[in-house]
Amino acid sequence: MRLQNITNNISAFNSKIGIPVDLRLIKELEAEHALLDQLLTNMESAVAQSNFVQLSNYLNDFASLLRTHFAKENTKFYMRLQYVFPANSAQFEVIREFKDEMLLIGKTINKFLSRYATRKMDEQQKPQFLSDFKAINELLHSRIHNEETKLFPLYKDPTNGSLYEQLLIKEFKPS
């Protein structure tokens, strides 16, 4: 019965604002974060072993996954949150700051990828790569931590299902 009420309320809410609720989105984004983290670990291992061919493959996989991840966040996550919270709310401001930061991080990582994914690496470039990689790694880990601890709770309440379920149950009870 509760699931049917939630489904009915989601349908009513979706028709009101036109952007579908995706109750699996946070789990998908967290899974992508884990894959990005694994690729960073793999890159670190490949460069430590001077396996530059494998490093190139990991860099390309990382670039592809990151683009897909950013697109998903931009079109499914941020857009949805920006419609739910009023423009003058503290939540909306947090969302806007995270979105702006994501654009800057994306530019920084794209610079890194342009520098290293498009050319053959060798032992001479290894020290500079490791220095740049360390900065990117720290930046991305910090972002992922902040996103999962500060931003994702705006989308879901871990103690009682998603934030949208709560909003929908309270505000869009089926008539």
Task: Tell me which of 23 and 62 has the higher pLDDT.
Answer: 62
**Contact indicator for 13, 167 with CB cutoff of 8 Å:** yes
**Which range among 3-17, 70-84, 111-125 has the greatest average pLDDT?**
111-125
**Average pLDDT of the chain, as a whole number:** 82
Lowest mean pLDDT among 114-118, 152-156, 170-174: 170-174
Average pLDDT over residues 110-131: 93
Task: Tell me which of 83 and 93 has the higher pLDDT.
Answer: 93
Length reported for the chain: 175
Res 19 pLDDT > 90: no
**Can you give the pLDDT at residue 62?**
97
24-80 tens-digit pLDDT = 899 999 999 999 999 999 999 999 999 999 999 999 999 999 999 999 999 888 888
* Cα dihedral value 10, 82, 27, 104, nearest 10: 170
Sequence letter at residue 152: F
Res 137 pLDDT > 90: yes
Retrieve residue 120's tokens: 């053959």
